[in-house]
Amino acid sequence: MRRMLLATLVLASFMLQPRWVAAEPVMAAPFVTVGVGDTFTIPISIAGATDLTSWQFDLAFDPAIVRAESVTEGPFMSAFGATLFTPGIIDNLSGLISLVADFYVDLPPNPFGDGVLANIEFTALAPGVSPLTLASVFLNDLDSGFQATNGQVTVTGRAAVPEPTTLTLLGLGLATSLALHARRRRGRRS
């Protein structure tokens, strides 16, 4: 009886032990704040990748707030070996970058860990907030088993640039001040 109780307790303690389950990979776009007219880079990153052989995504944005300029491969996959990167198609009228993808075409080990998958260069057009929405996301040809986290670009206005008349008045005031200062110095020398 005692053996049976001991066996039951050992079995119960084994079953109650926490099981370490690998966290799902996360593909993410960041939250950034920039000024009107700034050109900036949005890194699309991955965290917790294991045996990643391919990925793909679309990214939607507000074309009234930002304009996409280019998409380049991030260093994550290529650090492991040869890749086949496709920068996708930029449509600044609808605010969509579609079919950005990368494929690992080298020998194992397959890419794993954290890093930047792609870099997207934007230009800030107007003050406001543009969501960065990931869609059609696939990792290893699967559309599940991971998380996709959207980002956001907040564009602030720039400091006001003085009007030409303000600059003229400032220059005139400075010239007058310098002339009076020079006149006083000459008056003291005599």
Give the total number of structural domains in the chain: 2
Q: Strand 39-49 to strand 26-28: parallel, antiparallel, or no bridges (unpaired)?
A: antiparallel
Q: What are phi and psi of 21, to 5 degrees?
A: -105, 130
Nearest to 59 by CA among 104, 28, 24: 28
Is residue 120 located within the same domain as residue 181?
Answer: no
Q: What is the pLDDT along the chain (190 residues), one digit of tens a residue?
A: 555 544 554 445 444 444 444 589 999 999 999 999 999 999 999 999 999 999 999 999 999 999 999 999 999 999 999 999 999 999 999 999 999 999 999 999 999 999 999 999 999 999 999 999 999 999 999 999 999 999 999 999 864 455 566 566 556 665 666 665 566 666 666 5
Query: Is residue 135 a part of any domain in this protein?
Result: yes
Query: Is residue 8 a part of any domain in this protein?
Result: no
Is residue 134 located within the same domain as residue 187?
Answer: no
Please state whether the predicted TM-score (pTM) of the whole model is above 0.85: no
Query: Is residue 137 a part of any domain in this protein?
Result: yes
Domain of residue 110, CATH code: 2.60.40.680
Is residue 81 located within the same domain as residue 114?
Answer: yes
DSSP letters, 97-136, are EEEEEEEE-SPSSPP-EEEEEEEEEEEE-SSEEEEEEEEE
